[in-house]
């Protein structure tokens, strides 16, 4: 890279100063770039001689501290600054977390209730109880019967053939996708693909159900699932309010921490404390309006 010309600051150096500078208040913040006079007299300075020096005003450090405190614990920065609004932010924070915990607890209690209802009334109890994922209980509200998983005594898996049941509908779809209306017999082209599709999507023996004896219980299950979803959804909304409280408190702390204001200034001049062939570029920005 070519050396700097004597008495002239390259445009790239000035652009770097503008890029790295940031607004401040009080006595402001200055960033100075110096071409240190390391080479002997008569040798021009190069980019390797550049050094960065910066300073922060006490007012700006206080503002940063108050902002960080209120971002972590809403209201803490305001209270440290002697602002009574901090108690409001703290009260909102505690109330929001209380509502979140209550709604999460209610959602969990109702979820346990509809799982118990499904097990005692709708499910065909085979072996030890196994609770399924949320999509399983949604399926229980939409289909009166699951049908069997293995419908025949013959060796190998015999899929449910009744399309009025959930598993039977899955097998009918698999036949349409992979057999194209052809015979559903082992060894037929596409039969193994159809069987794999069925095994991946049909519910096995541990999760079979039949609401035929009590259709009202199936409707009750749907109502409980909706109620539980509402409680969890409300808890999620409260989390959004918690996040907003943190952000608003931090912004408030930043804006209300007092700083003196100075007009922006830019100074490019030789450094009187350094030998010749050394410059200082200083950019000072006042506080944001």
Closest to 173 measured CA to CA, from 183, 163, 188, 165: 163
Statement: residue 275 has pLDDT above 90: no
pLDDT computed for residue 277 by the predictor: 58
Full residue range of the structural domain in which residue 141 is found? 124-245
Summary mean pLDDT of the chain: 79
Between these two residues, 37 and 85, which has the higher pLDDT value? 85
Element (H, E) at 217: helix 215-256
Same domain as 67, residue 135: no
pLDDT computed for residue 185 by the predictor: 79
Kindly tell me the sign of the dihedral angle through the C-alpha atoms of 106, 108, 110, 113.
negative
Statement: residue 250 has pLDDT above 70: yes
DSSP state of 6: T
How many Cα atoms within 13 Å fall on the side-chain side of residue 104?
Answer: 11
Q: What's the Cα-to-Cα distance from 80 to each of 247, 259, 285, rounded to whole Å?
A: 17, 16, 26
- Asked if 170 contacts 202 with a C-beta cutoff of 8 angstroms, the reply is yes
Any domain includes 114: no
Statement: residue 23 has pLDDT above 70: no
Confidence of residue 258 (pLDDT cuts 50, 70, 90): confident
Same domain as 200, residue 145: yes
pLDDT computed for residue 16 by the predictor: 41
Same domain as 161, residue 70: no
Closest to 103 measured CA to CA, from 227, 234, 229, 223: 234
Any domain includes 159: yes
- Asked if 217 contacts 211 with a C-beta cutoff of 8 angstroms, the reply is yes
Same domain as 132, residue 186: yes
Closest to 208 measured CA to CA, from 113, 115, 282, 119: 119
pLDDT digits over 45-91, tens only? Answer: 443 343 343 445 777 888 899 999 999 999 999 999 899 999 999 99
Any domain includes 1: no
For residues 261-275, give the mean pLDDT.
Answer: 55
Same domain as 228, residue 179: yes
Q: Which residue has the tokens 């449910």?
A: 160
Statement: residue 255 has pLDDT above 60: yes
Same domain as 275, residue 215: no
Confidence of residue 36 (pLDDT cuts 50, 70, 90): very low
CB-count burial class (<10 Å; 0-12, 13-18, 19+) for 200: exposed
Same domain as 265, residue 223: no
For residues 230-236, give the mean pLDDT.
Answer: 97
pLDDT computed for residue 216 by the predictor: 97
- Asked if 24 contacts 60 with a C-beta cutoff of 8 angstroms, the reply is yes
- Asked if 277 contacts 5 with a C-beta cutoff of 8 angstroms, the reply is no
Confidence of residue 31 (pLDDT cuts 50, 70, 90): very low
Confidence of residue 180 (pLDDT cuts 50, 70, 90): confident
pLDDT computed for residue 284 by the predictor: 52
Between these two residues, 100 and 37, which has the higher pLDDT value? 100
Statement: residue 213 has pLDDT above 50: yes
Report the domain count for the chain.
2
| Neighbour tally for 249: CB within 10 Å | 29
Any domain includes 161: yes
Percentage of residues of the chain with pLDDT beyond 90:
59
| Virtual torsion, Cα 144, 148, 149, 152, nearest 10 deg | -160
3 state SS of 91? helix
Beta-carbon contacts of 149 under 8 Å, excluding residues fewer than 6 positions away, are 157, 160, 167, 202, 203, 204, 205, 208
Q: Which two tokens stand for residue 69?
A: 């405190």
Q: Which two tokens stand for residue 10?
A: 């390259």
DSSP state of 165: S
pLDDT computed for residue 208 by the predictor: 97
Beta-carbon contacts of 258 under 8 Å, excluding residues fewer than 6 positions away, are 59
């Amino acid at each position: 890279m070519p050396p700097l010309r004597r008495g002239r600051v390259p445009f790239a150096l000035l652009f770097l100063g503008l890029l790295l500078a940031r607004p401040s208040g009080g006595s402001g913040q200055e960033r100075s770039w110096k071409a240190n006079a390391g080479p002997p007299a008569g040798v021009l300075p190069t980019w390797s001689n550049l050094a960065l020096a910066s300073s922060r005003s006490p007012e700006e450090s206080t503002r940063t501290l108050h902002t960080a405190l209120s971002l972590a614990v809403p209201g803490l920065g305001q209270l440290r600054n002697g602002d009574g609004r901090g108690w409001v932010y703290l009260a909102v924070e505690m109330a929001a977390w209380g509502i979140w915990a209550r709604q999460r607890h209610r959602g969990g209690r109702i979820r346990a209730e509809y799982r118990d209802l499904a097990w005692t009334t709708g499910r065909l109890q085979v072996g030890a109880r196994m609770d399924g994922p949320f999509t399983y209980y949604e399926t229980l509200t939409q289909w009166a019967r699951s049908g069997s998983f293995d419908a025949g005594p013959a060796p190998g898996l015999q899929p449910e053939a009744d399309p009025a049941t959930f598993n039977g509908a899955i097998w009918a779809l698999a036949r349409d996708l992979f057999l194209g209306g052809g015979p559903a017999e082992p060894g037929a082209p596409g039969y193994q693909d159809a069987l794999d599709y069925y095994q991946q999507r049909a519910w096995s023996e541990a999760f079979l159900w039949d609401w035929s004896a009590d259709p009202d219980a199936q409707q009750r299950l749907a109502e409980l699932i909706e109620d539980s979803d509402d409680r969890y959804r409300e808890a999620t909304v409260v989390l959004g309010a918690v996040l907003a409280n943190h952000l608003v408190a931090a912004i408030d702390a930043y804006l209300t921490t007092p700083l003196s204001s100075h007009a922006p200034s830019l100074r490019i001049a030789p450094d009187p404390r350094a030998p010749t062939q050394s410059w200082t570029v200083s950019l000072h920005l006042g506080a944001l309006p």
